[in-house]
Structure 1
Amino acid sequence: MRTESVSAPKHLGIRSHELFSRARNVFPDGTTRATVERDPVPRYVMKGEGAYLTDVDGQRFLDLHNNFTTLIHGHGFGPVIEAVARQLHDGTCFANPTAHEIDLAELLVSRIPAIEQIRFVNTGTEAVMFAIKAARAFTGRPAIAKIEGAYHGAYDWAEAGQVGTPATWGLASAPTALPSYTGTPKTVADDVIILRFNDARGAREQIVAAGRRLACIVLDPMPSRIGLIAPEADFIEAVVTTARQYGILVVSDEVLNLRQGYGGASVRYGIQPDLLVAGKIIGGGFPIGAVGGSRDVMEVFDGSSGAAKVQQAGTFSANPVSMVAGRVSMEHMTEAAFERLERMGDWVRGELTAAIEMRQAPYVVTGAASLFRIHPKRRMPCDYREAYTQPGEAASIRAMSRFFASEGIIFPAAGTACLSTAMSEGDLKKVVQVFDRYLAVASTL
């Protein structure tokens, strides 16, 4: 593999400051996404190429962000560019279906055991929303259960309980379904049960107590906002088995974690969901979301003999650009490609952990496949409350992110980092070397 050198930018350049000044005049906080990082202003990007991106001030960075894990092939993936360029000449969107949506659907159905039929939407938020609606329509029940701290997009019920703090998250035995915004109807929290991740006994008790009010349990196999912590087998078994006993559907949210393997994260962790939600990598860098599952559950979307139980449309759903880009991108994610990313991730996590142990630094590393996260903690967390970043820990991660940026690497200060197929052996070594240098510097402060 090739080894590439990168420049070492020291600060945000003047163009990013100028652009942010303009942005603040037209956007409420200067951005159009709450997840945009700023230090103290956002870094504006000019272009991406392979594993690297270049900002508007000409500084080049190895990208460990990849737009929130979306770009599994990195930036400007040649086969996708060529396919999309051809499609642009033929048309960007139609009221009519195209063969491209069938092509991508067939690819996903052939790979993912849980998916017999599928519907495409435009975002992960939409996909989760329609999965919940499908579960309600299929069971005739209103309530859902989800994991404390897990992120499932911006649907009212899906986002309840994702922003708890020590002051608000309530009892360990019954976490609070805290709404994420002021003015949320009280009835939303009434119909959301919050389960603690990896608490098998507690999850079973709460599911039993809710009984037949629950339409579904939305389960992220390895929630990124909890900290990319591996699910324990007894927890998965408790959730799925108890759900089956009460006729509750299991929804596996793999918008992010589908990149864990050729068949997705459910296969890795032994989950057999009724519905599976996908997004990010299946769009090849273009907007996409999907909800799929067994034929009997997916029938709620069937309007061929009258009004469907769940009406799902969307002007840009299954648009040919996203369909073509997604198909080409996923075709190149062969089993061998996933295996290579797995080896890369194992090596990086192992080397980062070795550096921590050598320097006896207060950090631990979590993750799987091409995903990893560095926690400023002495002990490996097992749930949201243990992974919660205290103010001093947040400052440590911010300092680390700044150090990485000074060495030419974008490391997300907000959490999850990921690898892409565009990365070389030299890129991986660079990540480990920079982290080790940060530990050396941090130990002297």
Structure 2
Amino acid sequence: MMSAFKQENDENNSPSETGADRSALLYQKALSLMPGGCSRNTVLRRPNPLYAQSAAGCFVTDIEGTRRVDFANNMAALIHGHAHPEIVTQVTEQLQKGSAFTLATEAEIDYAEHLCSRNTGFDKIRFVNSGTEAVMSCLKASRAYTGRAKIAKVEGAYHGLYDYAEVSQTASPSNWGEVSKPNSVPVAFGTPQAALDDVVVIPFNDPPRAIAILNKHKDELACVLVDLLPHRVGLIPASTEFVIALREWTENNGALLVFDEVITFRNGYGGAQDNYPVTPDLTAMGKMIGGGFPVGALAGNSEVMDVMNPLNDKVLFPHSGTFSANPVTMVAGLSAMKLFDREAVFRLNAQGDRLRAKISDVIAQADVPACVTGTGSMFRIHMKATPPTNYRDAYASPQEAKLMTALVDHLFDNGFMMINTCSGTLSTVMTDRELSHFAEVLLAGLNRLKPQFDALKPSTTITE
């Protein structure tokens, strides 16, 4: 189906002017240069990825001339949409001074001060270059502080590419094991068995089972790693009961509690953890705190963070990085986060509430077995009648996965970029107009796919 946006643009442009088929030609060249023709799998589409030409606000225009509303926001990394004027100005000024030095910069101190001021649990902070690196550094700091090797994580949760952090994120019914004893399932072929043995997998939002599993390793665990709104688990909030249980267990057993807020820091002024009566020992951050540039950070308890202190007689965790705290990222991040003040956080979260309500209304109108989950400025549409409660509930059957892909394609073809799990994130530059239009396009898509949805509904047998 051709996008209405595409049709509108094509009325004023000939095929040669819009660069028709240019994406296909570029992809053929890319295939000869990169595995799969890309450096990140998330950009792939059939028959070929589209290539961006420009973006501004909440809109992205591809090289074919089609403009779409961006609910992907570079996988939740853009809190103010694209090319925000204030961020562009700050970055441009910094680039004229230099992009990176083997010297410290005042920009790093300014940004560290700002982020620490947003959360009382952030005594100290260090910057890195990605969310993966931030989580990895938290795990290594936990090991250095406790002297223990094992880590515990939630089944299905995504925490980046580090061998230990990625365990179980692609587990399936064929290999995930018993619910009371989930298997440590590798993602990449060749993952060392030793790495798998050092990862303890716990079920999400199930305190009794989680604590029973942790108790079996209480003298071996360096930390428990938790995402408070894990995307791969279904974008379901961690229950207060679950988080408190983990906090109490770690305190009682000499382990650390680590929150992965690489994505969820957008949901509160001091992160999603603002919504819980718990302070973690370490927090990993990334994505939107970079203002559109590569970034990561870990912050937390001063005593724990001190394992990275190079001024100590013995440095337990030597830590550095060529582009860590580069001034371009620092000024972009500081500018973005100053703009994302308490009022902006409240306003965006309220907008998220309105959008999820609209989606629920649309699902009811279409009368299909679907639901929406999420909190704050994030949402996910499931091809299930009731919201899942954990990774196993959220796992998509082949039929559900096919429907999800069809719905994402429908939205894309009609002007909306989504994350490929039918998830989306809001940016501060979006308006209710974009949300209402999304609801209209979503309703049309659900109605078109209704015959396929009907196949998901449980059948009833009438007996005399």
* Same fold? TM cut 0.5: yes
Matched, 1:130 2:131: no
Which of 165, 186, 192 aligns to 1:185? It is: 192
One-letter amino acid of the counterpart of residue 300, structure 1: V
Measure, in 2, the Cα distance between the counterparts of 1:36 and 1:186: 31
**SS at the partner of 2:37?**
coil
1:224-235 pair list within 5 angstroms: 224-235=231-242
Matching residue of 2:16: none
Measure, in 2, the Cα distance between the counterparts of 1:270 and 1:305: 33
Matching residue of 1:406: 413
Structure ranking higher on relative contact order (CA contacts 8 Å, 6+ apart): 1
Matching residue of 1:421: 428
Q: CA deviation at 1:73?
A: 0.2
Q: CA deviation at 1:415?
A: 4.3
- Taking only the aligned residue pairs, the percentage that are identical comes to 40
| Moved beyond 3 Å, runs of 4+ | 8-13
One-letter amino acid of the counterpart of residue 429, structure 1: S
Matching residue of 1:33: 40
1:243-258 pair list within 5 angstroms: 243-258=250-265
Matched, 1:304 2:311: yes
What are the Cα deviations for residues 243-291 of structure 1, in whole angstroms up to 9, with x where unaligned? 1110110000000000111110111133310000001111000010001
Measure, in 2, the Cα distance between the counterparts of 1:14 and 1:303: 54
Query: TM-score of the superposition, structure 2-length normalised?
Result: 0.93
Matching residue of 1:376: 383
One-letter amino acid of the counterpart of residue 207, structure 1: L
Contact 1:221–1:269 (CA<8 Å) still a contact in 2?
no
Which of 295, 298, 302 aligns to 1:288? It is: 295
Contact 1:63–1:410 (CA<8 Å) still a contact in 2?
yes
Matched, 1:330 2:337: yes
Contact 1:9–1:406 (CA<8 Å) still a contact in 2?
no
**SS at the partner of 2:374?**
strand
What are the Cα deviations for residues 118-147 of structure 1, in whole angstroms up to 9, with x where unaligned? 000001111111100100010000000000
Measure, in 2, the Cα distance between the counterparts of 1:321 and 1:410: 27
Measure, in 2, the Cα distance between the counterparts of 1:214 and 1:13: 55
Q: CA deviation at 1:39?
A: 2.3
Matching residue of 2:79: 72
Measure, in 2, the Cα distance between the counterparts of 1:6 and 1:108: 42
**SS at the partner of 2:165?**
helix
Q: CA deviation at 1:433?
A: 1.1
Measure, in 2, the Cα distance between the counterparts of 1:411 and 1:301: 38
Q: Which runs of 5+ in 1 are unaligned?
A: none
Q: CA deviation at 1:413?
A: 2.2
Q: CA deviation at 1:230?
A: 1.5
Q: Which runs of 5+ in 2 are unaligned?
A: 11-18, 453-464
One-letter amino acid of the counterpart of residue 69, structure 1: A
Which of 164, 171, 179 aligns to 1:157? It is: 164
More displaced stretch, 368-377 vs 268-277: 268-277
Q: CA deviation at 1:360?
A: 2.0
Matching residue of 2:5: 7
Q: CA deviation at 1:6?
A: 7.0
Contact 1:361–1:439 (CA<8 Å) still a contact in 2?
yes
Measure, in 2, the Cα distance between the counterparts of 1:167 and 1:9: 45
Q: CA deviation at 1:231?
A: 1.4
Contact 1:164–1:178 (CA<8 Å) still a contact in 2?
yes
Measure, in 2, the Cα distance between the counterparts of 1:164 and 1:444: 30
Report which of the two structures shows the higher radius of gyration computed on alpha carbons.
Answer: 2
Matching residue of 1:431: 438
Measure, in 1, the Cα distance between the counterparts of 2:193 and 2:7: 48
More displaced stretch, 185-194 vs 432-441: 432-441
